[in-house]
Amino acid sequence: MPETFRLDFTVNGQARSLDTHPMARLLDVLREGLGLTGTKEGCGEGECGACSVLLDGRVVNSCLIPAVQAQGAEVVTVEGLAAGGGLSPMQDAFLAHNAAQCGFCTPGMLIAAEDLVRRCPAPDKEQVREGLAGNLCRCTGYSKIVDAVQAVARKEGQP
């Protein structure tokens, strides 16, 4: 008998509830169970960061989280950044700085960047690089992404 359980958690501010296997990856629960396909799968082994989401306010690789460990948690995916229909300041900055090319890494980059500026409102270049070190991009060469994050940080750092 396949063993399922009722997963109750909060996704992008909304209470969600579904039956799933306790070892189902949070990544698959989000994409296939809830249709939130913004979160991507690159490597499936914690290396690339394409699957990054916030779990209880911290950036994690959703490909490494079994559903059972998301029970009762608060999850934010890239869809949750654009609250109220408009883009978030970070999304605007990525757009303005051409920080996306193919865009596959972008949801994960945005989540990691969001996590960084929440913890560290005015990161220097090194801190941005460390904050995004778990997110691989094959296209941009990273400079424009770092610029975008720093632009947001500068704006928010203003009184």
Partner 1 sequence: MRSFLPDFQVRVPATLPEALDLLAAEPGAWTPLAGGTDLMVLFNAGRLQARRFLDLSRLFELRGVQDEPGRLTLGALTTFSELREQRVVHQCFPNLVKSARATGALAIQNRGTLGGNIVNASPAADTPPALLAYGAEVELTSPAGARWIPYADFHQGYKRMDLGPAELLTRIRLPKPEGMGYHFYRKVGTRQAQAISKVCLAAYARLEGRVLADLRIGLGAVAPVPARATGTEALLRGRALDALPFEAARDALQADIAPIDDIRASAHFRRVVAGNVLVQMLKELAAVRA
- Cα separation, 22 vs 16, in Å, equals 16
Contact 104, 50 (CB under 8 A): yes
Q: Point out which span in 15-23, 82-90, 94-102, 117-125 binds ligand FES (CB under 6 A).
A: 94-102
Interacting residues with partner 1 between 65 and 84 (CB under 8 A): 65-66, 68-69, 71
Q: What number of other Cβ atoms are within 10 A of residue 21's Cβ?
A: 16
CA distances from 102 to 7, 17, 98, 137, 140 (A): 33, 33, 11, 9, 9
Q: What number of other Cβ atoms are within 10 A of residue 108's Cβ?
A: 28
**Cβ-based nearer residue to ligand FES, 8 or 138:** 138
- Which residues touch 119 (CB under 8 Å, ≥6 apart)? none
**Cβ-based nearer residue to ligand FAD, 12 or 62:** 62
Could you tell me the smallest distance in angstroms from the CB atom of residue 80 to partner 1? 17
- Contact residues toward ligand FAD (CB under 6 A) are 45-47
- For 149, the 3-state DSSP assignment is helix
**H or E element at residue 83:** none
Counted residue by residue, the chain has a size of 159
| Residue in 33, 44, 89, 103 binding partner 1, rule: CB under 8 A | 44
Could you tell me the smallest distance in angstroms from the CB atom of residue 65 to ligand FES? 10
Interacting residues with ligand FES between 2 and 61 (CB under 6 A): 41-44, 46-51, 61
25: which strand partners? 66
Per-residue contact track with partner 1, 108 to 147, x per CB under 8 A?
Answer: ----x--x--------------xx-xxx------------
Residues that bind partner 1 (CB under 8 A): 1-3, 21-25, 44-47, 49, 52, 55, 58-61, 63-66, 68-69, 71, 112, 115, 130-131, 133-135
